[in-house]
Chains A and B, each alone.
Chain A
Amino acid sequence: MSNTHADTVLFVRDTMLPQEEPPSSTVGPVGWAKTNLFSGWANTLLTILSILFVAFLLQRLLPWFIAPTWHADSLSECREIFVGIARHHEGACWGVIRDRWQQLMFGFYPSELYWRPILALLLLLVALGPVLFAHLVPSRVMIFSVIYPFILPWLLWGGTVWVSVVTLAGFAVGYGVYKLALRAVPDGFAVIIAAFGTIIWWLYLTGPIANGLASVLPLALEPVASRQFGGFMLSVTIGVVAIACSLPIGIVLALGRRSDLPLVKWLCVGFIEFIRGVPLITLLFVASVLLNIFLPPGTNFDIILRVMIMTTLFASAYMAEVIRGGLAALPKGQYEGADSLGLDYWQAQRLIIMPQALKISIPGIVSTFIGVFKDTTLVSIIGLLDPLGLATAIRADTDWNGIYWELFLFIGVVFFLFCFSMSRYSMYLERKLQTGHR
């Protein structure tokens, strides 16, 4: 009988028992280690092997790494220090980094002008603000992003400000031509005519007009020849210029590759596949030994500009593929929507497709940039003094002849910091963009 229950049972618990601690082997460091490191004999073995491996590496490397050589002025001085403390000569000679780190960073850029590349780098971050930190930066900064590509060369190379201004004015000229042409021909043709107008402005009018303005109002920074660029500054400059210039070219190529016009399509496919099919080093050989043959007799501009041109071409082929991916990822409805609004091809691209496709492509663009930035080390093979090239040059100094690992370690760490932070950022961006799109 149920109502007798209370009487028949001798004890009823009316409060919960306090929760037992989990067994000590499943919580805390021990538990964590047990689940994450020693679950099963295979895992245990792997863990022990890994620990041994790491310990072996540290035991070999740390003694080398910790060396009181920061103030040495030459390799022989380093050796004396090691003799002095009665140690094997096996140890790092960090003096070379103290002595040459500015050179590895800025090359032969005049040291009193170091503020210019640094300012250029800071302004680059500001200019990228609307793209990278869209939620933090007011969209008016976008205007700065547009004019930044014209501030950068002025800051780095110096000379009169008017060249940048007049070159920038080329866009205004192009827009004017576009508006004028629009009265006579449809949109697509107007774009082509405007492009022609702009190019003619740049090629034939910029120089004289800028010189004229400069003689009226000389606003100039001290010019620095591109030969004085070197080290990481050179790598960053080549990378930034290549990516910035390759963006418009890449867009054109990507659109061309998706075009319905067979001839345009095949030209673009041919270009992209050719560039992607050959190693960058061969393109750099072209820049160093052949570009002068392809250009009009007497044309001569220095090797760094030639390298930038070839790197830009190289980057644009990859950029085109990234943007093509972005275009392909757009839902078909966007295209159809644009069509149904009665927009023509160029209007649809400008107003609907490109803004969205570019947004999706940003992570791809960042990783293209990382790739190009890393590939700039190849310029050392054609004799430019990028960080690796400078390492060779530094080792040719009698003071530092025989130095090896210290320089490479430093260069590697700096590269790692640059690339790692960029790739982390691009991953963050990717996650952010993904949620925005679902």
Chain B
Amino acid sequence: MTTLSDPPAESFKLSMLVYDTRYRAITFQIIALIAFLTLVGWLANNTIQNLADLGKEPSFGFMFEPAGYDINQRLIDYSSQSSHLRAAFVGLLNTLLVAVLGCITATIVGVIVGVLRLSGNWLIARLMTVYVEMFRNVPVLMWIVLCMAILIESLPAPSAFRGDDPASTMKLFDSVAITNRGVYVPEPLFARGLGDISVFGAFDISLDLIAILLVLGGSIFVSRRIGKKADATQEATGIRPRTWHIRTGVLLLPVIVLLGLLGFHFGYPELKGFNFAGGTHMRNSLIALWLALSLYTAAFIAEIVRAGILAISSGQSEAAAALGLRSNRIMSLVILPQALRVIIPPLISQYLNLTKNSSLAIAVGYMDITGTLMGITLNQTGRELETVLLGMLVYLAISLSISSVMNLYNNRVKLVER
């Protein structure tokens, strides 16, 4: 009989930190930590000493001083007397605007091109290949500059609209003006508007917009309830009551009534003085950046989509064809939903790339956060350390939020998997 006895209690020896695998991990980590802290300390020490030599106190006080420069593209109120902080915020909103617009367009174009590259039409497939290879293999900065140049050179100047026999005319029943300074489209206006509400005393949000959104939300809720009720009736009786006319009415009528109450009308752009006045002005810089980023990223997305579709085994489409589905329905009902699982992770990184590439806006004078905070503000105040670090933090925050939101979505799509 063997008796189970406790192993003799080992006394801890210093050499065990090196030789004993249980403790070795800790030793490694301590070495890593010391190395890391030394590096950070060294950098911080250098920075403090260098700044002292230059006579610059790191401080963010300058952010609250008047910026002194104007920004053309702005989503919130801003004048040259506003603070640098507000200028940075205007820039941030511009970055987000072009990123969101770009991601949407790039996805649409990318999916279409990716599917068309597999098309049976030889010419179309080749053209799409040429497009993809052209855009993928030339730097995005060149595309941005090129798009801007093409817009400027090929579109008519506002002066071409002037005179009795103008060289250009406005499109769509005189409501849209396409010029080389940008595109002017009608803007929604309210004759009896509710005014604006000020949030934190910093931003104005239109009450009209809130009211419309509220009513629309209510309508959608009611319409869904009607749909659910119809479902229930169908389950119980087997006959689905006709609801589409009621639902359309519920969706549209309240909003139309509200718009009528608010005195909704369009403000059309008009040639006044040097420029068009009235209407919403989408500037060239925005359009060029948006176009270049979307087309460039779409080329990558097309490849991702193509790879995703090719990854679905041909048995799937054959089975769907055997069920009698037409080819476009095979694509939308069978192939794409499955391909989505392969497509989404690389798609997320393309969205991130697009957002980061939007920092090249400076090349066409679009005032994003690189142009305001890390551009003019840096130039005018000479605060390199503060502005660049702040700018990097902002980008980091944007990137991390995009990737976490998209990862959440990715996880939801993943659940469908076997």
Contacts and interface: CB of A to CB of B under 8 A. Distances in A.
Interface stretch (A76-84, A95-103, A145-153, A257-265): A257-265
Contacts of B120: 35-36, 39, 43
A30 B145 CA distance: 43
Interface string B16-41: 00110000110011011100100000
Contact of A404 (B134, B149, B392): B149
Given A46-B121, A281-B360, A411-B142, A416 B137 contact: yes
Nearest to B362: A381
B47 A415 contact: no
A24 B362 CA distance: 59
B18 A381 contact: no
B139 interface: yes
Given A36-B120, A186-B18, A278-B396, A290 B385 contact: yes
Contacts of B28: 188, 261, 264
B400 A260 contact: no
A412 B121 contact: no
Interface of A: 35-37, 39, 43, 46-47, 50-51, 54, 185-186, 188-189, 192, 260-264, 267, 273-274, 276-282, 285-286, 289-290, 292-297, 370, 374-375, 377-378, 380-381, 388, 404-405, 408, 411-412, 415-416, 418-420, 423
Interface stretch (B6-14, B49-57, B214-222, B332-340): B49-57
Given A279-B357, A282-B388, A295-B46, A263 B139 contact: no
Contacts of A185: 18
Contact of A285 (B25, B136, B137, B374): B374
| Size bracket, chain B contacts | 35 or more
Contacts of B392: 278, 282, 286
A260 B370 contact: no
Interface stretch (B122-130, B191-199, B256-264): B122-130
Interface in B116-171: 120-124, 127, 133-134, 136-142, 145-146, 149
A166 to B, nearest CB: 25
A192 B124 contact: no
22 contacts: A35-B120, A36-B120, A36-B123, A39-B120, A261-B25, A261-B29, A264-B29, A277-B399, A279-B356, A279-B359, A281-B359, A282-B370, A282-B388, A282-B391, A293-B50, A293-B384, A294-B43, A294-B47, A297-B50, A370-B137, A374-B140, A420-B133
A276 B403 CA distance: 11
Contacts of B395: 277-279, 282
Contact of B139 (A54, A186, A279, A377): A377
A375 B360 CA distance: 11
B337 to A, nearest CB: 23
Contacts of A411: 142
Contact of B46 (A54, A264, A280, A296): A296
B108 interface: no
A412 B142 contact: yes
B331 interface: no
